[in-house]
Structure formats: structure tokens, C-alpha cells
Copies of this chain bind each other. A is one copy, B any other.
Amino acid sequence: MLRLRTAKKVFEFSSCRHLKEICRSEVVGKEFRRTKVLTVDTMNPHVKNIEYAVRGPIVIRAGEIEKELKQGVKKNFTEVIRANIGDCHATGQKPLTFLRQVIAMCVYPKLMKDPSFPDDAKQRADRILGSCGGRSLGSYSDSAGVPIIREDVAAYITQRDGIQADPMNIFLSGGASEAIRNIMKLLMTTLPGKDRAGVMIPIPQYPLYTATIAEFNAQPIGYYLNEADKWSLSVEELRRAVTEAKGYCKPRAICIINPGNPTGQVLTRQNIEDVIKFAKEENLFIMADEVYQHNVYAEDSKFHSFKKVLTELGPPYSEMELASFMSTSKGYMGECGFRGGYVEVINMDPTVKAMLTKAISAKLCSAVTGQAAMDVVVNPPRPGEPSYALFKEQKDTVLGQLSEKGRMTTEMFNSIPGIFCNPVQGAMYAFPNIDIPKKAVEEAKAKGLAADAFYCYSLLEETGICVVPGSGFGQKEGTWHFRTTILPPVEKIADMLNRFGDFHVKFLNKYS
């Protein structure tokens, strides 16, 4: 990961204004520090330790290049392709008509009388408003969410798993991120040294996890996914990781991302059973990040929820504590900006659940618009309803294209010498492995950069393609990767992959 310690060296390499600001303040810092209450030396040190590559310096540089292009600066390319973040609509995906109709009517109820809006959308909007104070989206909801929406989420889970879900276990949140932070917060021991809370996370991982763990001053316990076997998860590796960790922290939880981010793998049912049994042995709280549950493309893959597997395993597994996270931002809807999400907690101690409610109460509630979007996600048009045909067409198109783009991406990367890419079984990303010549590794080192960060900066400057270095997600020592989304439109992704191949060959030639 590009650490801020290395920012001064990046300065020479990039013209990023933010980094310049950082460097300047370090140069003249002594003067600042005499007069400011808050300086880099006196601010919360845990916040300093946060790193978040998906929006790190390389992405800031991409924004600057976009501005340069607008100002007419000549480059080898005419636009930046932002493949750094799973931001579906920003890369061309169209919103679901039904979802937007429901929200628009909730926002402006006069539209309920507009004959161009279908009846099923009107019914949904009316039902949501009926559960809002004063029939307004502008009222606070209960801290855990609008009652009807919690019920609809529970009904969705019940149908998905064939196992009864309780609305009282559903807590709506500002995207899944907020829910993950809320649950992780409960797990903190706040003790130092060997008593620090340890949280098991996959390597590679989605950087929200390391960022949150850093902020809470806890201990990440990385377990490696097996790249040689389609990023699968082995219990032997979990054992190795937890055994080592017990020497320096108190392991309390295990996070699993399924389907995987950034790796795109989909866990088998057997794999999930193994993880659950391991967590039981080690007395770990399970955090299942299942935000990509609708994004499964590989024909031999299927989404199995941790809740279903755990419940079907029977006692004592079915009594284990589990938090499962979901979002409106991914799937086929891609409504990132609405910040809708939820966590279902099962088998949580009632006192702890009351404490969770209390802790989120101080933030009042998550955006009710995001909650309403979540309601549509869990309660979409059904066969026979007027909006069903269009909804199904839009959903199938998005998922079909994602599947196709995942296949294209894998094939194209694997056709480039020195790049190896596992199949995109699910989610929205590929995480290819790149050979970086020794000479390039050394040049990167001299610039204070990880070799894959150097590679990605070069890629961005020469082709306008913005991807995130593997070092931002974690990877086996000595291996190099990057994460790319599979979101750009088909024609753009083909162009991107071509440009990528040309760049890679030139890069290899330059440094071998």
C-alpha cells in the first residue's frame, strides 16, 4: 500500500496537489506546529494509520489527469478509464427504472397520481411512506430502520435461505461499510498488547477492513487466499494464521468476503462449512460480507449464505454468532450513492444487541432514501406485476454483461505474457498477478513506491487506465497484482484491455 511515509518521494513522481500539500506542510511544519491545535504530531495516531487504497493517491492523480485533459493537455489518450472502484452508474450502468420510480414517489408523493407511474411501484411507495413518521422520507426512522423495511429484509432472507429471519435482527445502515464498522466496534477489547482484539481478514482483502481495524487500534490477522487454486480458502491456512496471532493478540472474529473482493472467487458450500467449524473451534464471531450475493457468474458456482450453512449444520454451529452484511451498491442495482445497507445479526446476546441499538442511536438513523432503495432490492416486482418484465430485462442485462465482461477480462489478461488471472467467478473485480522485472522493482524502490504501485502509476500516466495496486489489498510477499473492476461498458473494456496489453509489453521491454 502506498504509505504516507513515502508521500515525499511520490511528490517527484506525480504532480498530485494533495501530496504536494502534505509535503509542503511537512517542510514548513514546525511553524504550523507552534500555532495549531491539530497537527500531524498531535492528531489521533490511529487515524494516521488508516490506509484506503481504493481512494488513495493514485486515484487522486487520476482526477488531476482528467482536469489536465479538460484543459487541453495532450496525452496518448482522451479519457481516464476509472476501473479503480465498483461505482456502477459512474461507469455507465443505468439505474433500475422500478427502483427509481418508487423512490421518486416516496420523495414527491404527488407523483402517486401520475398515470405514467405503474401501480406496483405506487403500492411499494405507499407502503414505505405508511411506515415513515408523518408519511415523509424526511422523518427520522427508528435507529435500526423503518419497521416495514426491516420486515421486508427479513422476508427476503427467509425466502433466500428457507430459514425464518427475524426483523428485530435487521439493522439498516449507510451502505454495508457502516454496518461492518458498527459490528467491529462491538468486538474491540480496547486493551493494549496481547489483549488487543484480533480480527481475521483475507489477504487480499477489501481495504475497508484494514482501515477500520487501524482506526480501532486492533490487530489484523491476515489469512492468505490460495491464488494457485482460484483464490480458495483453506482451513490449514486459517489455523496457521490464528496460531501465530495468539502470540500477540486476542483473536475475536473472522471476516469472510463471499463472493470475494478483490479476488472474485465464490466459496463452495464445503468451504463455508469448514470455515464455520474452524470459527467454532476458535470461538470466533463470524462477519460474513455477502454484498455480492447477486453477483455469481461461473456456471459451477452458487451463492450459499453463511446463515443457511451454519443453521443447516445444526447445534452447536447453529447457535454461533454471525453478522451478515448486504448493500444496495452492488448486485444488479449498483445504487452506491444511496448508501443503503443492512446487517442481519443472529444469535447475538440480547444485552449486546441492546448496546448495538444504543450505539447506533447517537447517529439517529441511516438515510431513509437509502433504506427505501434497500426495500426495493429485497422486494422487487414479482411475476404478474406490471413492472416485472422491464425489471427482469434490466436485471438480466446487467448481470449478463457483467458475466461476459468477467470472462473477457480473464481471457484477455491471460493472453498477455507475464500476467496470470484467475476466473471472475463472482463480484465485480479481477485481481491479476503481474510479473514485474527486477529493474522496475528497483526503480520503484528508489522512488519509495511498491513495485505494483509504480506499475499502476505508469499505466495511468501512459494509458489513462486507473486500477489499484495489489499492495493496497495485501498479497503474498514478492508477488504483485492490481485490482480492476469489470464495470466499464463492453466496448470500452475491450479497448482498455488492448491498451493494457500494449502498455504491458512496452513496460516489460523497458525494464528487462
Contact = CB atoms under 8 A, between A and B. Distances in A.
Contact of A25 (B134, B349, B359): B349
Contact of A50 (B51, B207, B359): B359
Nearest to A192: B192
A318 to B, nearest CB: 12
Interface string A96-129: 0000110110011001001000000000000000
Contacts of A351: 21-22, 25-26, 29, 39-40
A334 interface: yes
A193 interface: no
Residue of A18, A47, A283 with highest tally of chain B CB at under 10 A: A47
A40 B54 CA distance: 35
A271 interface: no
Contact of A89 (B93, B139, B185, B353): B139
A70 interface: no
Given A50-B359, A136-B95, A336-B138, A44 B188 contact: yes
Contact of A138 (B55, B88, B104): B88
Contacts of A336: 138-140, 364
A205 B422 CA distance: 55
A379 interface: no
Interface string A148-187: 0000000000000000000000000011011001000111
Interface stretch (A210-218, A227-235, A290-298, A380-388): A210-218
A251 to B, nearest CB: 10
Contacts of A207: 362
B90 A174 contact: no
A255 to B, nearest CB: 14
How many of chain A's residues touch chain B, expressed as a range? 35 or more
B338 A137 contact: yes
A359 B215 contact: yes
A510 interface: no
Contacts of A353: 21
B38 A348 contact: yes
A82 B476 CA distance: 57
Interface stretch (A366-374, A412-420, A438-446): A366-374
A337 B367 contact: yes
Contacts of A136: 89-90, 95, 337
A85 B350 contact: no
A187 B50 contact: no
A402 interface: no
Contacts of A175: 363-364
Q: 3 closest pairs, A vs B, by CB? A: A90-B133, A337-B368, A367-B367
18 contacts: A18-B357, A36-B321, A37-B285, A37-B321, A39-B351, A40-B351, A44-B190, A47-B355, A50-B355, A87-B139, A88-B139, A92-B134, A104-B108, A111-B111, A139-B337, A174-B339, A337-B367, A337-B368
